[in-house]
Amino acid sequence: MPLREYCNPDAILCELEASDKEDAVRQLVAALAAIKAFPKTRANAICDEIIDRERRATTGIGGGIGIPHARSANVKKLSIAIGRIDGGIEFGAVDGERVGVVMLIVSPESSPEEHLSVMRSIVSLVRDPYQCKRLHGCRSPESFLDLIAEIDALAP
């Protein structure tokens, strides 16, 4: 499935004011709960799962991008939230750089193939320096969605 299908413009926060990685995760999970990607009562458990996963190994993959993620029994469908943080935040990224774009992914435990497919798509997007630069240049939910749809169209 194209990445665009997992994104809702109301879960793209272009002026995220997160103080650190955990704060960014909490705000993005709250955005997904607000669009009813899962019940709000499950938001804290999902945050804990993502943060626990992040403590085991950073998802700051370089180039100013973070992709915190978790498979969870608390969700029924894969969803992506995106946050853009002016100036970036410390994320423990593999290249030591601050992270300015966070693409958070939550998926059902029962869908490991779908989860891995989405992860591969996002990693390939941000590993391309040109596309990564374009991603950092997005300033609105629509610009993020347009770029993602464009990349989807190029996918094999």
Looking at residue 1, its pLDDT comes to 79
CATH (domain of 80): 3.40.930.10
Looking at residue 156, its pLDDT comes to 67
Residue-wise DSSP of 46-107: HHHHHHHHHHHS--EEETTEE--EEEETT-SS-EEEEEEEEEEE----TT-PPEEEEEEEEE
155: left (phi over 0), alpha (psi -120 to 50) or beta: beta
Structural domains of the chain, count: 1
Q: Which domain holds residue 58?
A: 3-154
Q: Which residues of the chain have pLDDT under 50?
A: none
Contact by Cβ (8 Å): 155, 22: no
Looking at residue 151, its pLDDT comes to 83
Residue-wise DSSP of 42-58: GHHHHHHHHHHHHHHS-
Percent of the chain with pLDDT over 70: 99
Sequence-separated (6 or more) residues with CB below 8 Å from residue 119:
67, 69, 105
